[in-house]
Amino acid sequence: MGYLVFYGHAAFEVGVNGKKILIDPWLTNPLSPVKPEEVKDVDLVILTHGHADHTGDAVTILKNNPKAKVVAVYELANHVAEQAGDPQRAVGGNMGGPMLVDGLKIALVPANHSSPVGAPTGVVIQSSEGTIYHAGDTGITSEMALIGEIYKPDIALLPIGGHFTMDPVEAAKAVELIKPKVVIPMHYGTFPVLYGKPEEFKKLVEEKVPGVEVVILKPGEKYEFKY
């Protein structure tokens, strides 16, 4: 059985294939129910891009979890691993075919955004329990249809806050393109500028793509799955 735990903003803990993964672990965000120091036994830290609200507490977590590796686009993975004091723990890739990392297939995919280090990406995690697509920060892009076609995500984690990313209208259209089984909204409500509401997103998805389940998680809530 795989699981996801939402820690607010774009931060998630993922458990698949016996591995504990943190994605965009900004755990000092205003909504997070946990502190970086409380997260133990981490295997992988995956980063979608270099903005501080996504790299977050990655360095602290790597220092506190000496077996953990950081997975990201090449420049960002090396940058964060060096900050953590061990460049050998970087797994740097690029947008293209999946990387084989600790028994998982991890693909970096395009995101329509910016990044101070490296290029912005989304990430697809393929495991025996299911396939998860974390879109990172992105506007809507037609490439999402290819992500859906090639990787067939069971679960899509999509930003809906607007201003810096998709809002509920754009994110609902993204669901049409990706066609996941389940979609979980993220990157909303952390600050007033992120105006998108999950209830509006859910209503739009139910109207446009009625076969997709929308799961709204409060920070700290867990979603279990097996596909």
In this structure, whether the domain defined by 2-225 belongs to CATH 3.60.15.10 is answered with yes
Q: What is the pLDDT along the chain (227 residues), one digit of tens a residue?
A: 999 999 999 999 999 999 999 999 999 999 999 999 999 999 999 999 999 999 999 999 999 999 999 999 999 999 999 999 999 999 999 998 899 999 999 999 999 999 999 999 999 999 999 999 999 999 999 999 999 999 999 999 999 999 999 999 999 999 999 999 999 999 999 999 999 999 999 999 999 999 999 999 999 999 999 88
Angle subtended at Cα 96 by Cα 93 and Cα 102, rounded to the nearest 5 degrees? 50
Strands 121-127 and 104-110: antiparallel
Locus of tokens 């990387």: 99
Alpha-carbon radius of gyration of the chain: 16
Is residue 179 within 8 A of residue 150, CB to CB? The reply is no
Task: Tell the burial category of 166 from Cβ atoms under 10 Å away from its Cβ (0-12, 13-18, 19+).
Answer: buried
Task: Return the pLDDT at 45.
Answer: 98
Strand partners, 159: 186
Does the CA dihedral 166-217-119-25 come out positive or negative? positive
